[in-house]
């Protein structure tokens, strides 16, 4: 049984079909990648899952719950976390606060108990911090704990964003081009973490990526998109050697040099 | 028939006051588009223009049209000066800091005007070529003062339109307002564009002042008209020049009709009720474009 | 790895910070004993405006939602408290009631307008303030319109607060409670959600933060404090009428928090101090000016406007920004480098139409 399913999803912007009848299944515990040239509709899938856009047709199903009609903030409550292509951190606060914000969906307090900072709020704060410290430890962010995000180098910011998503204790993690802008070392760290996330934390990952070498290494299965339609899907080797995929990428010159 | 006339009269006076709102709103929008700053001193620029034209006409006996020209030139110069001395050093600083600076400027201008000998806190009026002249068509009587506002505003809008559409500088200004970074890469001097924007906005304020004077008279608080031009600019979408004028007209007409047909008190808030109503339905104003952040 | 987090969630992270604040509070308690009645009443105004400024800071400085309509909540607080106490309700109940009603109105009007962004929200709140002001003028049976409303000095039980000194202590206590409440909110999930909304709405939503809900909470809490400040204001002046709550008050409150320094509670208090004390300083310097200028009524606002411009030119990040730099300078002395806080000036990259 599929863990997460896209059923025949379509969306268009001003007459342009960004996604056209796309269906795929993500199995529990796997890393499933979506590839395709710029403008193929990869990030649009994420934005639709997060309900920033309304689907014209089709549905997303997570463990038998249809999640394409709920409110945007409820998506997180269903256990879906994500990162963003161009980093959307809360940049005027510290790394620690960003991570604790990931715990927001566990909030049990209300504004009245918070004004008094009651025992239960204190307990909740301690729990959030414990979780955040685990992540700081896991992602090696110790040195940056109290620093404001805006002052951090790009690569570290990307890591913080991954950490913030992990702090949510998600079932499904959506990563939007996690390796873009990273240097070789940082990319290696990333694939190391990703396999840990998969193996140790048991989190299913849906990945959108541009860096082919990285995708090939990391993914269990791949879906290739172009112009909002599926070219092919299956195991990494087959998909990457598929003639249509090669053609879609050759049309765009800088793809293999970009990493 | 009498009712129709009455309504027409009211609407016409609404249109003319709406034109002044529109002019002030145009000043807001110009500066906002170029710098993302809301200029809280726009109304005070109008007041300053009104006082200057008053002095030129009554103290120095300038003819009306000469006074208008001199005021516009002076105000344009004043806008440039303001930009050079105060605002230029703030380019790149947080927008809200600059907004507060314009609030400070508005306090300052209003108070300084009250301290100038011969101006002070009194209310003044002056003669214009349109004073006490009327156009009659059938039963309808229209004051030239009102008509002049509409005509001069229309002419001004045409000039501005031509400027932005057909001149190099105008095109550069439009480009800068859309994407500053790209404009810089294209070799446009953003500083000069900012400076010019303040010049034009101040000059527009000056014209607004002269036009408004015969209707509300000249006094230190006439700058509060800026508070009416705000909803006008927002109604239009705060980024659209024609929107500012249309917004001004809507506010002017509403106010005029509400003042005539509704109980006392409605005149001042009718415009705001309409504005909030529009925003609840169309959060980006009538002519604005909804922008969604790309992620 | 860190294992004890209790110290992280304490109100004062370091013992020394606690002592500094304690010293400050003691200073605030002793200070009025050295001042005359007039200056004590100025201190009272500082506390009062600081309460409202803290409220607006939560909304504008922390949640990023600009309001140019807080005079309305201030007014609602004033009138609620005035009317309730006139009907015999004790002040100790009227004060929170003023805040609660203001907060409630905040929820009602916040819901439909809080999806507006930036400028549009600012203008909508400004319109709301105009409408409230007009209602106060017209609803004569309740507010006595432009005639104004007389308010009694407050009493708590048998204790009547009728001297400047007593009233100062009352407002000081309210201010301290306000700061406590604000601080607690800020170190709880609600406060973090507010900051998240300010920094990135999309990411906040993806974290599961209900934007409408938390914006409304911020609006309500902010209105609550403005209402409480309004109540204090009414009982201080003994007489209120709609003219005290114009757009200028809203703009002043906004200017206060920006000059104080957005995004810090210190800034709200600094801003209130700046706005109350500066006019006093200007009055004091008046004697040294030429007679013609001295006698001008426009002198104070002119200088005030000029000083606002100068302060922002000198320190666009507000007084709190300067405070941080000064502190940093002494901590780092003599290693302080002039460029430590230099920021890159940026061109606005945003695409606009």
Q: Would an 8 Å CB–CB cutoff place C280 in contact with chain A?
A: no
Mean pLDDT in residue range B271-277? 88
Q: Is C216 exposed, middle or buried (0-12, 13-18, 19+ CB in 10 A)?
A: middle
Residues of A in contact with C203 (CB under 8 A): 84, 88-90
Are the Cβ atoms of C130 and B269 closer than 8 angstroms?
yes
Residues of B with CB under 8 A from a CB of A: 292, 295
% of chain A residues with pLDDT over 90? 53
Are the Cβ atoms of A122 and C9 closer than 8 angstroms?
yes
Of the given ranges (A158-172, C136-150, C165-179, C184-198), which has the lowest mean pLDDT? Answer: C136-150
Contact A240, A209 (CB under 8 A): no
ipTM (interface predicted TM):
0.89
CA–CA separation, A109 vs A128, rounded Å? 13
Does B172 map to a domain?
Answer: yes
Q: Phi first, then psi: what are they for B137, rounded to 5°?
A: -130, 110
Q: Which of B36, B106, B279 sits opposite C120 (nearest CB)?
A: B279
Q: Can you give the residue range of the structural domain that contains B218?
A: 2-281
pLDDT value at A255 more than 70: no
Are the Cβ atoms of C208 and A104 closer than 8 angstroms?
yes
- Edge-first strand order for the sheet with A4-13 is A16-26, A4-13, A57-62, A65-66
Contact C193, C38 (CB under 8 A): no
Does B295 map to a domain?
Answer: no
Contact B167, B154 (CB under 8 A): no
What pLDDT is recorded for position C340?
Answer: 55
What pLDDT is recorded for position C3?
Answer: 64
The total number of structural domains that make up chain B: 1
Residues of A in contact with B295 (CB under 8 A): 43, 47, 52, 84-86, 88
Which tokens in the block code for residue A101? Answer: 């914000």
| A47: nearest CA partner in chain B | B295
Measure Cα distances from C209 to A72, A168, B190, C16, C195 in Å.
9, 12, 39, 35, 11
Q: Which of C127, C298, C317 sits opposite B115 (nearest CB)?
A: C298
Chain position carrying tokens 């007489």: C239
What pLDDT is recorded for position A1?
Answer: 62
Give tens-digit pLDDT for C218-270.
999 999 999 999 999 999 998 999 988 988 899 899 999 998 988 899 999 99
Q: Which of C51, C226, C58 is nearest to A114 (CA)?
A: C58
Q: Phi first, then psi: what are they for A171, rounded to 5°?
A: -90, -35
Question: What is the dihedral sign for C-alpha A193, A196, A198, A203?
Answer: negative
Residues of B in contact with C71 (CB under 8 A): none
Are the Cβ atoms of C202 and B273 closer than 8 angstroms?
no
Q: List C residues 201-220 in contact with B (Cβ-Cβ < 8 A).
A: 201-202
What pLDDT is recorded for position B82?
Answer: 92
As beta bridge partners, residue A207 has A33, A175
pLDDT value at B208 more than 80: yes
DSSP letter for A143, please: G
What pLDDT is recorded for position C352?
Answer: 44
- CA B201: distance to chain centroid? 8
DSSP letter for B57, please: I
% of chain B residues with pLDDT over 90? 24
What pLDDT is recorded for position C350?
Answer: 43
What pLDDT is recorded for position C342?
Answer: 55
Greatest mean pLDDT range, A10-19, B139-148, C75-84: C75-84
Does B75 map to a domain?
Answer: yes
Q: Which of B105, B283, B284 sits opposite C305 (nearest CB)?
A: B105
Give tens-digit pLDDT for C62-113.
999 999 999 999 999 999 999 999 998 999 999 999 999 999 999 999 988 8
Residues of A in contact with B292 (CB under 8 A): 52
% of chain B residues with pLDDT over 70? 97
Mean pLDDT in residue range C288-297? 75
pLDDT value at B71 more than 70: yes
Does B20 map to a domain?
Answer: yes
CA–CA separation, C271 vs C253, rounded Å? 9
Average predicted confidence (pLDDT) for chain C: 87
Chain position carrying tokens 């502190």: C327
Between B140 and C98, residue with greater pLDDT: C98
Does B287 map to a domain?
Answer: no
pLDDT value at B8 more than 50: yes
Residues of B in contact with A85 (CB under 8 A): 295
What pLDDT is recorded for position C339?
Answer: 56
Arch. (CATH architecture) of C35-332: Orthogonal Bundle (1.10)
Contact C203, A84 (CB under 8 A): yes
CATH number at residue B77: 1.10.3470
Give tens-digit pLDDT for A195-240.
999 988 899 999 998 888 888 888 999 999 888 888 889 988 888 8
Count of A-B CB contacts under 8 Å: 8
Give tens-digit pLDDT for A49-93.
999 998 999 999 999 889 888 999 999 999 999 999 889 999 889
What pLDDT is recorded for position C341?
Answer: 58
Q: List B residues 119-138 in contact with C (Cβ-Cβ < 8 A).
A: 121
H/E element holding C93?
helix C91-113
pLDDT value at B63 more than 50: yes
Q: Would an 8 Å CB–CB cutoff place C103 in contact with chain A?
A: no
Of the given ranges (A100-104, A187-191, C292-296), which has the lowest mean pLDDT? Answer: C292-296
Which tokens in the block code for residue B161? Answer: 């339109």
How close is the nearest chain A Cα to the Cα of B292, in Å?
A: 10
Residues of A with CB under 8 A from a CB of B: 43, 47, 52, 84-86, 88
SS3 C74: helix
Which tokens in the block code for residue C207? Answer: 């974290």
| B294: nearest CA partner in chain A | A86
pLDDT value at A259 more than 50: no
What pLDDT is recorded for position C232?
Answer: 95
Contact A188, A236 (CB under 8 A): no
Between B129 and A29, residue with greater pLDDT: A29
Ordered structural domains, chain A, with CATH:
1-79+170-179+203-259 (3.40.50.300), 89-169 (no CATH)
Domain ranges of chain C: 35-332
Does B286 map to a domain?
Answer: no
How close is the nearest chain B Cα to the Cα of C219, in Å?
A: 17
């Amino acid at each position: 049984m599929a863990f997460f399913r896209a059923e025949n999803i379509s969306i268009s912007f001003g007459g342009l079909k960004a996604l056209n009848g796309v269906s795929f299944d993500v199995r529990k515990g796997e890393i499933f990648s979506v590839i395709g040239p710029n403008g193929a509709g990869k990030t649009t899938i994420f934005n639709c899952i997060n309900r920033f856009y309304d689907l014209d047709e089709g549905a997303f199903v997570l463990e038998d719950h249809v999640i394409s009609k709920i409110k945007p903030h409820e998506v997180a409550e269903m256990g879906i976390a994500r990162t963003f292509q161009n980093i959307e951190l809360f940049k005027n606060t510290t790394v620690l606060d960003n991570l604790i914000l990931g715990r927001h969906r566990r909030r049990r307090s209300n504004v009245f108990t918070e004004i008094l900072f009651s025992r239960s709020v204190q307990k909740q704060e301690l729990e959030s911090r414990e979780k955040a410290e685990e992540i700081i430890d896991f992602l090696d962010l110790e040195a940056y704990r109290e620093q404001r995000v805006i002052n951090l180098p790009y690569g570290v910011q990307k890591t913080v964003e991954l950490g913030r998503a992990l702090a949510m204790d998600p079932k499904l993690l959506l990563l939007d081009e996690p390796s873009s802008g990273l240097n070789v070392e940082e990319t290696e760290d990333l694939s190391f973490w990703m396999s840990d996330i998969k193996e140790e934390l048991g989190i299913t990952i849906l990945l959108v990526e541009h860096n082919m070498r990285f995708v090939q290494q990391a993914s269990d299965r791949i879906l290739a998109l172009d112009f909002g339609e599926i070219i092919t899907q299956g195991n990494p080797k087959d998909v990457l050697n598929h003639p249509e995929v090669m053609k879609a990428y050759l049309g765009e010159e800088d793809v293999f040099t970009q990493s | 028939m009498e009712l129709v006339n009455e309504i027409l009269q009211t609407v016409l006076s609404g249109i003319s006051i709406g034109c002044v709102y529109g002019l002030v709103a145009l000043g807001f929008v110009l500066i906002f588009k170029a710098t993302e700053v809301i200029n809280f001193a726009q109304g005070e620029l109008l007041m300053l223009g009104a006082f200057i034209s008053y002095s030129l006409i009554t103290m120095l006996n300038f003819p009306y049209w000469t006074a208008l020209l001199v005021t516009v030139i002076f105000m344009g110069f004043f806008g440039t000066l303001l930009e050079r001395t105060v605002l230029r050093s703030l380019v790149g600083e947080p927008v809200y800091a600059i907004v507060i600076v314009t609030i400070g400027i508005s306090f300052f201008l209003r108070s300084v005007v009250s301290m100038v000998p011969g101006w002070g806190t009194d209310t003044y009026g002056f003669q214009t070529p349109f004073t006490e002249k009327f156009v009659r068509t059938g039963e309808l009587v229209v004051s030239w003062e009102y008509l002049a506002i509409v005509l001069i505003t229309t002419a001004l809008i045409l000039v501005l339109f031509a400027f932005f559409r057909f001149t190099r500088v105008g095109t550069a200004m439009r480009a800068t307002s859309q994407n500053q970074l790209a404009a810089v890469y294209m070799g446009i001097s953003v500083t000069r564009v900012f400076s010019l924007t303040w010049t034009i906005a101040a000059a527009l304020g000056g014209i607004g002042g002269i036009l408004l004077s015969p209707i509300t008279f000249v006094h230190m608080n006439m700058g509060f008209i800026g508070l009416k031009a705000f909803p006008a600019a927002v109604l239009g979408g705060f980024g659209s020049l024609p929107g500012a004028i249309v917004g001004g007209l809507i506010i002017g007409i509403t106010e005029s009709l509400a003042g005539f047909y509704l109980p006392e008190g409605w005149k001042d808030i009718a415009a705001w009720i309409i504005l909030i109503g529009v925003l609840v339905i169309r959060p980006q104003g009538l002519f604005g474009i909804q922008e969604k952040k790309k992620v | 790895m860190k294992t004890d987090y209790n110290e992280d969630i304490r109100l004062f992270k370091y013992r020394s910070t606690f002592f500094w604040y304690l010293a400050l509070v003691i200073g605030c308690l002793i200070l009025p004993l050295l001042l005359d009645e007039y200056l004590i009443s100025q201190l009272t105004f500082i506390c009062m405006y600081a309460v409202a400024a803290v409220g607006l800071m939560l909304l504008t400085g922390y949640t990023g939602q600009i309001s140019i309509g807080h005079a309305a909540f201030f007014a609602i607080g004033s009138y609620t408290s005035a009317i309730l106490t006139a009907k015999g309700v004790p002040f100790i109940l009227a004060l929170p009631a003023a805040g609660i009603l203001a907060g409630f109105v905040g929820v009602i009007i916040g819901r439909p307008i809080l999806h507006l962004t930036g400028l549009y929200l600012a203008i909508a709140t400004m319109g709301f303030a105009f409408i409230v002001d007009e209602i106060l003028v017209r609803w004569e049976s309740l507010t006595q319109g432009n005639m104004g409303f007389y308010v009694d000095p407050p009493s708590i039980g048998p204790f009547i607060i009728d001297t400047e000194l007593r009233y100062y202590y009352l407002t000081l206590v309210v201010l301290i409670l306000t700061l406590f409440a604000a601080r607690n909110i800020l170190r709880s999930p609600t406060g973090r959600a507010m900051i998240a909304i300010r920094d990135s709405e999309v990411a906040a939503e993806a974290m599961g933060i209900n934007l409408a809900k938390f914006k409304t909470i911020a609006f309500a809490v902010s209105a609550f404090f403005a209402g409480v400040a309004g109540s204090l204001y009414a009982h201080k002046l003994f007489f209120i009428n709609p003219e005290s709550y114009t757009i200028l008050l809203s703009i002043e409150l906004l200017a206060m928090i920006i000059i104080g320094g957005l995004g810090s509670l210190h800034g709200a208090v600094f801003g209130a101090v700046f706005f109350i004390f500066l006019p006093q300083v200007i009055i004091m310097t008046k004697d040294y000016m030429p007679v013609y200028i001295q006698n001008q009524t426009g002198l104070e606002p002119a200088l005030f406007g000029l000083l606002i411009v100068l302060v922002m030119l000198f320190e666009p990040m507000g007084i709190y920004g300067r405070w941080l730099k000064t502190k940093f300078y002494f901590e780092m002395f003599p290693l302080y480098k002039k460029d430590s806080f230099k920021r890159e000036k940026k061109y606005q990259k945003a695409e606009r139409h």
